[in-house]
Structure 1
Amino acid sequence: MLKNGAMRAGLAAAACGVLAVTLSACGDAGGASGSGNGSGTKGKAGKAGPGDSRARTVDLKRVPDVGDRLRKQIPSDSRQVVAVYGAGKDSADSTVVLYTKSGSTWDETRSWPAHNGTRGWTTDHHEGDKRSPVGVFTLSDAGGVLPDPGARLPYTRSASFQAPHFWGKSYWHDFDYVIAIDYNRVKGTAPNDPTRPEGQSKGGGIWLHMDHGSGTSACVSLSKSAMEYLLRTLDPHQHPVVVMGDKADLNA
């Protein structure tokens, strides 16, 4: 029984960007590798994998390297922030850090190497630009091909998440686990619900999902172990959000 109820008709054709309409989905099936050397608050970002690390920084007064413009967009009741630090405007490499608020301070709990859009970042995302949108977005729903690993967010398991097998084999498991980034989507629905409130041209189907070793079309990708940790940790009662962008835009 799916936690999120029965899938609506037509969802089978949608997987991270409405596959039946476009292949500009999260897993950049063209296979272009990410550019840049990768950097973030901790070390370098390369191919996501066994490099998951436990962070040690505690008692931060604010989420590091996030300027006032974006910091003010973090809801006051949010106590979990997934920060995606892009290596550069045109780089596909990034570092993901999970921060948890305790009292009035933020604790840095985990960090992982990751990838973002193949062409980097944009403050005006459009369908097919292969850049990840800069901004602060809530995290409300999860799902994937694999069984629920103990997610706290509502989790929809369905074969409709399966990446098409005419994509390269390295992409087949991209959507085994996904967490929907609430950009141009309806909260409270399965991540692959194709509804785009702001219109198709603004893109959508932007997720945290499993990594294939290079850039995506707009999503943020991490190792399987990182996705499992986030799924088991992100709690709707803590109002989790993602703050994402290249270093310059994050600090603006």
Structure 2
Amino acid sequence: MIVVTTDGWDVDHGTLRTYVRDGTQWKEQGQASDVTIGRHGSAWGVGLSPPQHDGPVKKEGDGRSPAGVFRIGEAFGYAETNPTALPYRGLTASDYCVDVDGSPYYNQLVDEKKVGAAAVGGATEAMRRDLHFDGDRAYRIGFVIEHNPDGRKGAGSCIFAHLWKSPTSPTAGCTAMTDATMERLLAWLDPSKKPVFVLLPKTEYARLRDAWNLPSP
């Protein structure tokens, strides 16, 4: 389990910790790390956790990172291969994540060469950011946070863990971190152990910890 906690709904940064289950308990592994999240903070997303009724709700383009519990999907990066145990996608210049909520490919990673230029029309998430945006390194290595996996229209799309620009640079809704933290996560995550990603403001974490069987803070 990867756990990110923040000081409130509207806070754009937090702390990342990692845990493994030991019997019925969670045991922390590794060092806590600083991360940045959405520029407007966080909001309830669509994942494994039950819907909540107090607090903001994630919407497309709101600049908030989804809060809740989510499966961890495939890893990706600019290199063709990566030693991570996660399924890995070597990105090309024609790979996009579709953030246009009217598209049948909404919230999917697709290859423009396979689906056609019209299918990615209007999408802003070119995955090879180094080629499309003057050498941008954000997606050099990262992984998918499976928010809104069924592509519910307008509920938010293309949520990743990726590299940060700086400790004070928030994201459009992803969770960003140092190269060293990301490299540690990719080496540590084991898909056979069904890893999950949790993001919550501290007050919500305290409220839900027992019901959701989350690690002690």
Q: What's the TM-score once normalised by structure 1's chain length?
A: 0.59
The unaligned stretches of length 5 or more in structure 1 are: 1-80, 186-195
Q: For residue 207 of structure 1, what is the aligned residue in structure 2?
A: 160
Q: Greater strand percent: which structure? A: 2
Counterpart AA for 1:114? V
Counterpart AA for 2:3? A
Displacement, 1:149? 3.2
Displacement, 1:147? 4.2
- Distance change (3 Å), C-alpha of 1:168 and 1:157: closer
Displacement, 1:135? 0.4
- Distance change (3 Å), C-alpha of 1:90 and 1:139: same
Does residue 1:119 correspond to 2:40, yes or no? yes
Counterpart AA for 1:243? V
Q: Could you tell me how far apart the structure 1 residues matched to 2:134 and 2:76 are?
A: 22
Q: Aligned ranges for residues 156-235 of structure 1 at < 5 Å?
A: 156-159=89-92, 160=95, 161-163=127-129, 167=133, 172-185=136-149, 197-199=151-153, 201-213=154-166, 214-235=169-190
The unaligned stretches of length 5 or more in structure 2 are: 45-56, 96-126, 208-217
- Distance change (3 Å), C-alpha of 1:148 and 1:96: farther
Secondary structure of 1:218 counterpart = coil
User: Which residue of 7, 11, 14 corresponds with 1:94?
Assistant: 14
The question of whether the paired residues in 1 share the 8 Å contact of 2:151 and 2:157 is answered with: no
Counterpart AA for 2:146? D
Q: Could you tell me how far apart the structure 1 residues matched to 2:194 and 2:201 are?
A: 23
Q: Could you tell me how far apart the structure 2 residues matched to 1:109 and 1:86 are?
A: 19
Q: Could you tell me how far apart the structure 2 residues matched to 1:162 and 1:89 are?
A: 30
Q: For residue 106 of structure 1, what is the aligned residue in structure 2?
A: 26
The question of whether the paired residues in 2 share the 8 Å contact of 1:137 and 1:181 is answered with: yes
The question of whether the paired residues in 2 share the 8 Å contact of 1:132 and 1:245 is answered with: no
Q: Could you tell me how far apart the structure 2 residues matched to 1:168 and 1:244 are?
A: 31
Q: What's the TM-score once normalised by structure 2's chain length?
A: 0.68
Note the alpha carbon deviations across 1:86-129, whole angstroms, 9 max, x for none.
Answer: 13221111111011112222211122110010111112101111
Q: Could you tell me how far apart the structure 1 residues matched to 2:65 and 2:205 are?
A: 13
Q: Could you tell me how far apart the structure 1 residues matched to 2:137 and 2:12 are?
A: 19
Counterpart AA for 1:112? S
The question of whether the paired residues in 2 share the 8 Å contact of 1:117 and 1:218 is answered with: yes
Q: For residue 132 of structure 1, what is the aligned residue in structure 2?
A: 65
Displacement, 1:166? 6.9
Does residue 1:150 correspond to 2:87, yes or no? no
Counterpart AA for 1:116? I
Q: Could you tell me how far apart the structure 1 residues matched to 2:132 and 2:192 are?
A: 39
Displacement, 1:173? 0.4
What is the aligned length? 159
Secondary structure of 1:216 counterpart = coil
Q: Could you tell me how far apart the structure 2 residues matched to 1:106 and 1:198 are?
A: 32
Secondary structure of 1:202 counterpart = coil
- Distance change (3 Å), C-alpha of 1:101 and 1:248: same
> Over aligned residue pairs, what C-alpha RMSD do you find?
1.8
Q: For residue 47 of structure 1, what is the aligned residue in structure 2?
A: none
Secondary structure of 1:134 counterpart = strand
